[in-house]
Every structure is written in structure tokens, then in C-alpha cells.
Amino acid sequence: MSIMETIIDIPAEHERNVFGQFDNFVKIIEKTLNVTIIARNGEIKVVGSAEDVVKAKSVFVQLLELSKRGNTITEQNVNYALSLCFESKESAIVEIDKDLICHTINGKPIKPKTLGQKSYVDQIRNKMIVFGVGPAGTGKTYLAMAMGITAFKKDEVNKIILTRPAIEAGEKLGFLPGDLQSKVDPYLRPLYDALYQIMGPDAYIKNTEKGLIEVAPLAYMRGRTLDNAFIILDEAQNTTPAQMKMFLTRIGFGSKVVITGDMTQKDLPNGTKSGLDVAIKVLSKIEDIGFSYLTSQDVVRHPLVQKIVKAYESFEERQKRYELKGQEKNRKFNRLNYKSEKIRGNRYEKR
């Protein structure tokens, strides 16, 4: 193995951002790529195998470019740039950063952070109905909300409708005290949080009073036709097939629909099929409907969340394999049992 070294210039104003606090990002790159990195006087010296040094240099170049574009580099950025460098796609991280959706009320830009998220956002732009399926933390709802608010502000739609199945109450909210708003608030709080952050509470209240923004449980969509609206159905894994069909047949002219869900977080009663699962199977061949499947690679929360999601994915995959093996053993046992019974039956007939 040939040893190689290279020097990378990092301007002083970007050092802290690219290196991370206490050189944390440098340590992550060193450990992942098995290289030695010496940082001093606005330079980085990288030593290691030729292949690993080239990868490390490419990662630093992309992180520096992100920093120059005004981004605060996070551990997620570093880990994602590293994962892309193994596929020779590290330059994609800067291209993704160019896709600005909108700004929060505090001026923070909202952009896709991964290739999966970029594909999801592009699907929303180009398709009438989009299913966004993936684990927690992949930005399914937040990005859909940002796209909806942007479309609303550009007058591409007349209103925004946000809905969720209130599965914990079995969609039967009548026994709870208070008016409709106080009954459904606990189930819809995550949607309010995103609205406040992107649109601001004053704009939200004003548009809600005008009927231009509506947040309601899925049960209240029945019997309506939803024209010229941006509609988001969140937590769709908790719909029944009948509820999903009801929702999809409410869609009117000029509307755009985003349906989000995580098949690993179903709260439906045992034995009840998920409307999301059934809809994906039934509608998968319709061209005007988009399907975006996000993975643990697209998690943009705390790095620990990504590790938790990966751990659960591995566990669930093992469980599926064990279940399939168990089912196969049962089938073999039943076949053998059937043959034995048949042989005994033939012997009895001969007697």
C-alpha cells in the first residue's frame, strides 16, 4: 500500500466551521477514513493510503464549499459527506444545498439535506400525489409543510389542509371535553409546531381565521371535495384502507397531495391492515403518483437518532428473517404430517 500526503488550504474564517468544536469533525474523518490529519496555520495535511487521502480531501473540499455558502457545518453534514465519498457522489452535497425551498420566520433557510430528501422534494414539485415513506427524523412532514407554505405564498394553491388520523382516540373524539379544537390539538400539535416555525404564529392565525389554513383530524375530511389546495396527510400508517380510500377520493382539481408515514410506527389494532401499505401496493403503477422512500441515511436529527433508527432497522430485519424461517419450518412440518396421514390412510384402506 503506497502512502500519500496532501495539503488543503482552509481560510481562517472557515477553520472553526469546517474543523468543528475541538476539531471534532477532523477526528470523525480521521477515524472513518483511517488517515492522519494535522491541522495548523490555515492548512490541513492528510496522510494515508492514496485512496483514503483522495476521499478525505474531497470531503474537506465539499465541507469548505458548504461553509462558503453560509452554512453552519453539522456532524450530520460530515457523516453524510463521508457516506457519499464511498459512492464517489460527495459533490452532490453542494448541489443539494442549492435547492432553497423557503426560509423560517427567523430567516433560517429550509433545504433538502440528503439525496433522498432532494428526490422527495422534486417529486412533490412534479407529481400531483406523492407518498413520502421513511423513519422518524427524515424530514417527511417538515419538507412537505415547507413546500405547501411556499406554494400557498406563490398563489399556486388557495389553501393548505393538514390532517392526521387521531388513532389514539379511534377517530371518536366526542367523549373528550371541550370544542373540536381542544379535542384534536394534542394529535395535531406537531403540525402546528412546523407551521409556527415556517410561517409564524401571526400569519398562521390570520390565515386560519380566513379559512385558508385548516388543521383537522382525518375523520373530518369525509364528504368533502378538496379543490385548489395543498393537502398533507401525516402519520398515514395509522389509517385503515377505508380511511385512505376516502381521503384519496376527496382530492379535487388544482390540488397537490403529500401523504407521509413510517411503517415501523403503526398504532393500529392488531390484525388491522394499514391504509398506507395497501395504497402503495394498489397505486404503485400509476404514473401521476410519486413514491419516495427515505432511509436512515436521510435522518437529519441528532446523530444518535440515526444510530437508533439503524439499530431498529437491523433488529426488525432479523425478526423478519426469524419469522420467515419459522413459517418455512411450519410448512415443512405440515407437509410431512400430511404425507404421514395419507400413508396411514392408504394402509387402513388396504386392510
Residue 314 grid coordinates: 437491523
Domain boundary among 285, 300, 315: 300
pLDDT of residue 232: 96
Same domain, 81 and 172: no
Same domain, 86 and 107: no
CATH (domain of 44)? 3.30.1370.10
Is residue 319 included in any domain, yes or no?
no
Same domain, 91 and 112: no
Angle (CA) 193 195 196, round 5°: 65
CA atoms within 13 A on the CB side of 22: 1
CA distance 60 to 62: 5
Is residue 60 included in any domain, yes or no?
yes
pLDDT of residue 290: 97
Same domain, 85 and 180: no
Is residue 253 included in any domain, yes or no?
yes
Is residue 11 included in any domain, yes or no?
yes
Residue 294 three-state SS: coil
Is residue 342 included in any domain, yes or no?
no
Same domain, 66 and 114: no
Residue whose cell numbers read 408515514? 261
Same domain, 62 and 111: no
- Sheet containing 213-217: give its strands across: 213-217, 159-164, 229-233, 256-261, 129-133, 289-293
Q: How many CB atoms lie within 10 A of CB 145?
A: 29
Domain boundary among 97, 116, 151: 97
Same domain, 286 and 232: yes
Is residue 333 included in any domain, yes or no?
no
Cα 317 from chain centre: 19
CA distance 217 to 227: 18
Same domain, 10 and 67: yes
Same domain, 84 and 233: no
41, 89, 260 from 219: Cα distances, Å: 63, 44, 17
pLDDT of residue 170: 44
pLDDT of residue 109: 93
Is residue 330 included in any domain, yes or no?
no
Range of the domain at 158: 102-300
Same domain, 210 and 270: yes
Same domain, 244 and 108: yes
pLDDT (tens, 9 = 90+) of the chain, 351 residues, equals 678 999 999 999 999 999 999 999 999 999 999 999 998 778 899 999 999 999 999 999 999 999 999 999 999 899 999 989 988 888 899 999 999 999 999 999 999 999 999 999 999 999 999 999 999 889 999 999 999 999 999 999 999 999 988 765 444 555 555 565 666 667 677 788 888 999 999 999 999 999 999 988 888 888 888 899 999 999 999 999 999 999 999 999 999 999 999 998 888 888 889 999 999 999 999 999 999 999 988 887 555 665 676 787 778 778 877 777 777 767 766 666 666 665 665 655 555
CA distance 25 to 182: 45
CA distance 266 to 220: 21
pLDDT of residue 271: 86
Of 78, 81, 118, 79, the C-alpha closest to 96 is: 118
Q: What is the largest CA-CA distance in the chain?
A: 98
Please give the tally of structural domains in the chain. 2
CA atoms within 13 A on the CB side of 40: 1
Is residue 347 included in any domain, yes or no?
no
Query: Which residues, 6+ apart, have CB-to-CB distance to 256 below 8 Å?
Result: 124, 128, 129, 148, 151, 157, 229, 230, 231
CA distance 104 to 146: 9
Q: How many CB atoms lie within 10 A of CB 231?
A: 25
pLDDT of residue 171: 47
CATH (domain of 201)? 3.40.50.300
Domain boundary among 73, 97, 121: 97
Same domain, 89 and 141: no
- Sheet containing 36-40: give its strands across: 3-9, 43-49, 36-40
Q: Is 213 left (phi over 0), alpha (psi -120 to 50) or beta?
A: beta
pLDDT of residue 302: 57
